[in-house]
């Protein structure tokens, strides 16, 4: 699909066209006709849920003095095959922006919804100052965004695939530590400013470009008041901590970072956040010296507390279990042991929804999992 013939070969073109249904082809042709892009090249990525294509816009109306630089773009085409999106429903249920319009029966509308979510979430990331692709246009299940990659149209590698030596990075350790600190600052901006949890954060959904990590793939990201947002946040922190650990970076415990990220009213200025993270290392080291290091993430993951009762799978069944002296497998078992009176405490600052409200809602929204 192209307006002008430059660069890419026939094979590319065949690949692009093969995979596309008539509706999608029509939308892509519209993009060309409206001058959003001039040509659409091969796939940057073929995924389970979407394909991403590289496209170029050749700006017209140059004054003749200098060749206008081509502008590279990425086009994410969500797959509309029926089975693909089924398991994503857990992300939508409880997302309060989408509850009213959640079109259970209408699959195409569902896919459009994911594309729209990606657009809105990318906008929030950009507004918060997190490096991310800038969304340019959305039409149905097709999202055009800025291209993260070099001026010759090479896409940036995923963090997972970065070959530090060939990037010309000499002190890999220092670079990785800086990226680690930056990344957790982004996570805190996501939480504190964008009011979002990425919910699929890992070395697969981070690109390395221009010395920075770029956050991508945010169609499944959830609002901070989503019933599982803290659980998703915990998983995000686990994934990225594990990547940096495996690559030799001295990491803070997930528990410590979690508490720092969700601290109400914390700063979202990059420099200040970096200082705070350094301070967290200092606190940890001081504790270690005294032999009081209690940062066992294994234990913490198991103790992890649901933020409200919507996270409880089935209140009645669970209550019965406890009544029978069972229930040791329940997610809130720790509370049963040491605070029978206090109800389920809400971790840090997100406490608008008390346990009693949750209980009333629970058979409506709380039983997916
Ligand atoms: P999914 O994982 O759902 O297939 P992603 O949004 O993660 O979709 O995109 C898949 C891949 O496409 C990414 O890993 C990345 O390599 C590439 N990609 C996505 N968006 C861009 C972009 N804006 N610029 C460059 N490459 C991109
Ligand atoms: Mg991805």
Does the pLDDT value for residue 150 go beyond 60? yes
Tokens of 1: 């699909």
174-193 confidence digits (pLDDT tens): 999 999 999 999 999 999 99
Higher-confidence residue of 60 and 255: namely 255
Task: Give all domains of the chain, ordered by start, each with its CATH number.
Answer: 10-146 (3.30.200.20), 305-365 (no CATH)
Ligand 2 centroid from CA 158, angstroms? 9
**Angstrom distance (rounded) from CA 19 to CA 49:** 13
As separate numbers, helices (DSSP H) first and strands (DSSP E) second, the chain gives: 12, 9
Annotated active-site residue 200? The verdict is yes
- Asked whether 295 and 241 are in contact (CB, 8 A), the reply is no
Distance CA 85, CA 70 (A): 35
- Give the single-character DSSP code of 35: T
Residue 369 has which token pair? 């999992």
Report residue 34: phi and psi, to 5°.
-90, 5
pLDDT digits (tens, 9 = 90+) for 274-323: 999 999 999 999 999 998 876 778 888 877 765 544 444 455 656 666 67
CA 333 – CA 326 distance, rounded (Å): 10
Burial of 209 (0-12, 13-18, 19+ CB in 10 A): middle
Q: Which residues line ligand 1 (CB under 6 A)?
A: 44-45, 47, 49-50, 52, 74, 76, 133, 145, 147-149, 155-156, 158, 205, 216-217
| Paired residues of 213 in beta bridges | 208
How high is the mean pLDDT of the chain?
80
Q: Is the pLDDT of residue 15 over 70?
A: no
Contact by Cβ (8 Å): 130, 190: yes
Task: Count how many residues are written for the chain.
Answer: 369
Q: Residue 29 has which token pair? A: 């042709």
């Amino acid at each position: 699909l192209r307006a002008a013939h430059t660069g890419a070969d026939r094979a590319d073109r065949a690949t692009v066209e093969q995979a596309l249904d008539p509706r999608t082809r029509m939308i892509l042709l519209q993009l060309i006709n409206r001058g959003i892009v001039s040509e659409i090249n091969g796939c940057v990525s073929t995924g389970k849920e979407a394909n991403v294509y590289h496209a170029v816009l050749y700006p017209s109306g140059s004054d003749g003095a200098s060749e206008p630089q081509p502008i590279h773009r990425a086009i994410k085409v969500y797959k509309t095959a029926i089975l693909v999106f089924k398991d994503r429903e857990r992300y939508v249920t409880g997302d309060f922006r989408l509850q009213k319009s959640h079109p259970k029966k209408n699959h195409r509308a569902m896919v459009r919804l994911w594309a729209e979510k990606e657009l809105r979430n990318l906008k929030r990331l950009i507004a918060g100052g997190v490096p991310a692709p800038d969304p340019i246009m959305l039409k149905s299940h097709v999202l055009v965004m800025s291209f993260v990659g070099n001026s010759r149209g090479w896409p940036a590698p995923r963090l997972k695939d970065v070959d530090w030596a060939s990037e010309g990075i000499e002190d890999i350790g220092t670079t990785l530590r800086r990226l680690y600190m930056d990344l957790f600052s982004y996570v805190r901006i996501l939480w504190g400013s964008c009011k979002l949890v990425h919910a699929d954060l890992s070395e697969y959904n981070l690109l390395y470009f221009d010395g920075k990590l770029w956050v991508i793939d945010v169609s499944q990201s959830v609002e901070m008041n989503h019933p599982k947002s803290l659980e998703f946040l915990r998983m995000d922190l686990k994934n990225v901590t594990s990547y940096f650990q495996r690559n030799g970076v001295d990491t803070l415990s997930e528990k410590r970072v979690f508490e720092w990220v969700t601290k109400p009213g914390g700063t979202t200025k990059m420099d200040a956040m970096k200082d705070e993270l350094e301070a967290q290392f200092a606190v940890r080291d001081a504790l270690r010296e005294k032999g009081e290091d209690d940062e066992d993430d294994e234990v913490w993951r198991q103790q992890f507390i649901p933020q409200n009762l919507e996270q409880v799978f089935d209140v009645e069944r669970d209550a019965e279990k406890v009544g029978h002296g069972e229930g040791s497998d329940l997610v809130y078992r720790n509370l049963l042991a040491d605070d029978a009176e206090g109800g389920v405490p809400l971790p840090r600052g997100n406490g608008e929804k008390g346990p009693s409200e949750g209980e009333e809602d629970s058979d409506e929204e709380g039983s997916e999992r």
